[in-house]
Homo-oligomer: A and B are copies of this chain.
Amino acid sequence: MAKKQLIMEKALELFAKQGFEATSVQQITEYCGISKGAFYLAYKSKDELILALLDHFMEQYISDIDYTVKNTENESLLFSFYHSAFQTVQEHSNFAKLIIKEQAQTFNGDLFNKMQYYDQLLEQLIVTLIERLFGNTIIKYDLVSTIRGFMNVYTGLLLFHNIPFDIDHLSRSLSEKTKVLAEHCTIPFFTEEISMFIKKHRINKEISKGEILEILEQKIKELEASIEKESLLLLREEIINPTHHSAIIAGLLENIRSHPHCKWVAYLLRNYFGYGKN
Contacts and interface: CB of A to CB of B under 8 A. Distances in A.
B163 A189 contact: no
A160 B116 CA distance: 12
A46 to B, nearest CB: 14
19 contacts: A19-B105, A21-B21, A22-B107, A100-B103, A103-B105, A104-B156, A146-B149, A146-B153, A146-B177, A149-B149, A152-B152, A161-B197, A161-B198, A164-B197, A169-B187, A170-B189, A173-B185, A176-B187, A181-B181
Q: Tell me the number of copies of this protein.
A: 2
A4 to B, nearest CB: 26
A201 interface: yes
A188 interface: yes
**Which bucket holds chain A's interface residue count?**
35 or more
B107 A19 contact: yes
Contact of A153 (B107, B145, B172): B145
A137 to B, nearest CB: 14
Interface centre among A100, A181, A197 (most CB of B within 10 A): A181
A194 interface: yes
A128 B95 CA distance: 35
A172 B149 contact: no
B187 A172 contact: yes
B180 A157 contact: no
